[in-house]
Structures are given as structure tokens and as C-alpha cells.
């Protein structure tokens, strides 16, 4: 029995892929498009990261010290113990020292850019997308950045622009940096996009079989990231650096939003009881794993593309379906009662906040996955020989045109359920910073 269980859990490891809400910036834009958040229209000057670090080296030492003291109690085997004694190199006080303390990709650069929304024209010099986003691959979506060095920008635009930043490079290829002490990668691949998987996923509601025989699958590090970047955001606010306060918070928002997406909160969404039985009875478990991996990747890839297409279409008032979709991001109330409660708790328990957030995205994962199969059909969701990423003729726009209105509406409703949670946690994060007082 233990051997069979091991094979089932090995399958979990193999099928985990890393995707995210394809357009965090637009989700953030709509989630904060409420009168209660008019304070975000305040404009502040941009600030170079090096200047911030040099001015606040002593304070950063204390912030990182506090963070690693917390991490020692939460994830003691996921950091280098030396960080407790030297959390930040005050004698250096540069970007290299900051990236080392935050344990981010050493090649990360924090450019002073603003993201141009669909349908808008840039006011300043356009910056090549690949410079800002080194892992960018042209997929036909809207990626336009403008240089806002020495300019003023709104708090809102900071949140919108940098809600996608954790996907650009900071979380890639960290497992090879032994000094960071992250330990063995619990799932995903050490190279490419999947190398960032454990930082953008958190499986807090898996069945007993996972908890008993593969507890390492519960070691996603999204909460770790949320805590660190929230601490940095609040510190920057206290010290009078609004630009970095809201940029750091934009990073925390990214992980919150990821975890509101079912594919980030549930290891294998379609895995019900009979799924396990089929796997146990399979005579070729390796092939079973490979097929499961391919099907999950196809479904997730297409779903993300579908959502991104309609988010971008939402700026056209004639696109009724797109505008219905984003309406879920602006639904009242501003905060659900369960989330509002966390604003009244001091100190914040961010693990509990994430646990509450992912309870729904986990429970919704199976229904979403089943409906995606119904909507897009066998070729895209049940043919393991098909790879959407390698299909030169794949165009999400063509696929959407082929869907009847009933299927589009169904996926709209499914996405809307998760969008309500996504918008609520986005607003919580902003208020967590806005209401913060030292």
C-alpha cells in the first residue's frame, strides 16, 4: 500500500506546473477601481532602489532580522541559519546586498517604469519589454512599459505596474544558490518558468494522504514571500518612501492573487477518488504521469489565455462579455466579513489569511477543471498527444471564436467566482498598508 501511495504522490510532483493569472496588472486595476480607494490617486516621485537601500540600511537590517526570526519558527529548514546573525550587509548597502537578504535572483533589476494600459498611449519613452521582463515571450498580449525616471506617478499606477513583477525574474533559478538555504525544491523543475513554482503556489488543503506521506508538498513558500514584502512595504511607508512602500506591496499582492487561482491552490484539480483508483490500477504509472502532466498544462495554459484576452477586451465598452467578467472584480462589498476581520487583528497571521483565501480556490478547483474540459473539448483537454505550447497554429482568439455563447458564459461564471476572492484579497492587502501606523 505504501508503494502505491508513493507513486500517487510522485505524480503530484510531476504534474505541478507554474502559471498564474496572466494579467495581474488588470486584475489589480479593476479591483481598486472603487471610490474607497481614491487615496491611491496621490502622486509620489519615483525613487531608485539603490537610493532607498543606502538611506535605510540600518532599518533594512532590522526588517530582515525580524523576518528571519519569524521564518525560523515557520520554515526553519527553508533558510540559511547564518541569515539570523547577518540578515543584511549594512557595510555594503547596495542592490546586491538587498537581493541577497531577500534571497531573490541576483540578476534582478528594478527599473523605474510605468505599465501602459490597453488603449492608452505612452507619455514617456517606451522601454523594451525584454529589458523589464527577461523571460518575456511574445504571445500577442499587451506589454508596454514607459520610463518614468524622475517623474511622479500615482500610488495606483505603482500597484498596477508591479503586481506582475514577481513573474519577471526575481523568483527564477533560486535553487542553485546554496547560500540562500532554500533547501531541496519540493516540486516543479529547477530550470525555466517552473523553477519559481514553490514561491507562487501553496497547497494548504490537500487530503490526508498527502499530509501523511508527502508533507513536503505543503511547503509552498508564497506565505514567506507575502510576509517579507509586507514587512518591507510597511517599513518603507514608516520611513517616508511611498514609492517603495507601494511597489513592495504590489509584490505581496501578486502572491495573494496567485493563490486565489485554483490551479495554484490545488496540486491536481481533477484528482477525485476514482482518479486515484485509476492510477493505482495503472500498469504503466510513468506514462500515466506524463499524460496527466500534459493535459493539466494544456488546460491551464488555455484558461489563462482566455482570461487574459477578456481582461484586455474589457477596455472596449462594446465587449459585453469582457465587461461582465471584470464586473466581478468591482462587486460590493469592498471586503468580505471574513477578510475584514483580519484587518482588526494585530499582529497579522498571514498564514491564516492565506488559509482562508485558499479554502475556496481549492474547493472550486475540481469544478473549474471539469468545466474547462467541457468548454474546450477533447483535443485541447483530453488528448495527451497534443501540446498547446508547441502547436504553431494555436491562437486563443481563434479558439474563442469557435466557442458558442453558452460555453463562454459558463467559463465567465467560473472565473467570476474566483475573481471575487481575488479582488477582495487585493483590497485587503492595500488597506493593510494604507491603515498601517508604526
Residue 152 has pLDDT above 70, yes or no: yes
**Tell me, what's the pLDDT at 272?**
67
The half-sphere exposure of 228 on its side-chain side, counting CA atoms within 13 A, is 23
284: confidence class by pLDDT, cuts 50, 70, 90: confident
**Tell me, what's the pLDDT at 135?**
86
Q: Could you tell me the domains of the chain?
A: 2-42+155-434 (1.10.575.10)
Q: Which of 363, 373, 365, 370 is nearest to 298 (CA)?
A: 373
Q: What value does the mean pLDDT take over residues 110-119? A: 97
Residue 1 has pLDDT above 50, yes or no: no
Read off φ and ψ for residue 245, nearest 5 degrees. Answer: -60, -45
**Tell me, what's the pLDDT at 263?**
82
pLDDT digit string (tens) for 235-281? 999 999 999 999 999 999 999 999 999 988 887 787 766 666 676 67
pLDDT digit string (tens) for 10-64? 444 444 445 566 699 999 999 999 999 999 999 999 999 999 999 999 999 999 9
pLDDT, mean over the chain? 90
Q: Rounded distance, CA 342 to CA 332, Å?
A: 18
Q: Which of 412, 429, 424 is nearest to 31 (CA)?
A: 424
**Tell me, what's the pLDDT at 358?**
96
Residue 293 has pLDDT above 90, yes or no: no
Distances (CA, A) of 18 to 69, 169, 194, 261: 29, 14, 5, 12
79-88, 95-104, 144-153, 180-189: range with lowest mean pLDDT: 180-189
**Tell me, what's the pLDDT at 132?**
96
Can you read off the three cell numbers belonging to residue 288?
500515466
Residue 225 has pLDDT above 90, yes or no: yes
Distances (CA, A) of 125 to 52, 113, 115, 128, 145: 24, 10, 12, 10, 8
Amino acid at each position: 500500500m505504501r508503494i502505491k501511495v508513493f507513486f500517487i504522490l510522485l505524480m503530484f510532483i510531476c504534474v505541478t506546473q507554474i502559471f498564474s493569472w496572466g494579467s495581474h496588472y488588470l486584475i489589480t486595476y479593476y479591483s481598486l477601481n472603487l471610490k474607497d480607494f481614491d487615496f491611491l490617486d496621490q502622486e509620489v516621485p519615483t525613487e531608485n532602489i539603490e537610493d532607498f537601500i543606502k538611506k535605510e540600511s540600518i532599518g533594512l537590517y532590522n526588517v530582515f532580522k525580524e523576518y528571519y526570526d519569524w521564518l525560523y519558527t515557520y520554515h526553519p529548514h527553508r533558510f540559511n541559519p547564518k541569515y539570523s546573525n547577518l540578515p543584511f550587509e549594512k557595510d555594503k548597502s547596495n542592490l546586491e546586498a538587498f537581493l541577497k537578504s531577500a534571497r531573490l535572483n541576483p540578476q534582478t533589476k528594478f527599473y523605474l517604469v510605468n505599465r501602459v494600459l490597453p488603449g492608452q498611449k505612452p507619455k514617456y519613452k517606451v522601454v523594451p519589454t525584454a529589458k523589464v521582463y527577461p523571460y518575456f515571450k511574445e504571445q500577442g498580449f499587451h506589454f508596454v512599459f514607459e520610463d518614468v525616471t524622475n517623474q511622479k506617478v500615482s500610488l495606483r499606477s505603482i500597484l498596477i505596474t508591479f503586481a506582475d513583477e514577481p513573474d519577471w525574474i526575481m523568483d527564477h533559478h533560486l535553487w542553485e544558490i546554496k547560500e540562500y538555504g532554500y533547501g531541496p525544491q519540493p516540486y516543479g523543475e529547477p530550470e525555466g518558468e517552473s523553477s519559481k513554482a514553490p514561491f507562487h503556489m501553496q497547497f494548504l488543503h490537500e487530503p490526508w494522504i498527502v499530509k501523511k506521506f508527502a508533507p513536503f508538498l505543503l511547503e509552498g513558500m508564497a506565505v514567506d514571500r507575502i510576509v517579507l514584502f509586507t514587512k518591507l512595504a510597511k517599513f518603507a511607508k514608516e520611513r517616508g518612501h511611498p514609492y517603495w512602500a507601494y511597489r513592495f506591496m504590489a509584490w505581496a499582492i501578486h502572491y495573494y492573487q496567485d493563490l486565489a487561482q485554483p490551479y495554484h491552490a490545488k496540486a491536481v484539480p481533477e484528482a477525485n477518488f476514482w482518479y486515484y483508483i485509476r492510477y493505482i490500477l495503472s500498469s504503466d504509472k510513468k506514462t500515466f504521469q506524463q499524460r496527466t502532466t500534459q493535459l493539466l498544462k494544456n488546460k491551464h495554459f488555455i484558461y489563462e489565455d482566455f482570461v487574459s484576452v477578456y481582461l484586455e477586451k474589457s477596455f472596449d465598452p462594446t465587449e459585453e462579455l469582457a465587461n461582465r467578467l471584470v464586473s466581478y472584480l468591482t462587486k460590493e462589498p469592498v471586503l468580505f466579513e471574513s477578510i475584514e476581520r483580519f484587518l482588526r487583528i494585530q499582529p497579522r497571521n498571514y498564514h491564516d489569511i492565506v488559509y482562508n483565501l485558499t479554502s475556496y480556490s481549492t474547493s472550486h478547483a475540481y469544478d473549474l477543471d471539469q468545466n474547462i474540459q467541457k468548454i474546450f473539448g477533447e483535443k485541447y483537454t483530453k488528448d495527451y498527444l497534443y501540446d498547446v505550447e508547441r502547436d504553431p497554429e494555436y491562437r486563443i482568439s481563434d479558439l474563442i471564436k469557435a466557442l458558442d455563447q453558452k460555453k463562454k458564459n459558463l467559463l465567465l461564471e467560473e472565473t467570476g467566482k474566483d475573481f471575487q476572492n481575488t479582488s477582495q484579497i487585493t483590497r485587503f492587502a492595500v488597506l493593510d498598508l494604507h491603515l498601517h501606523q508604526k
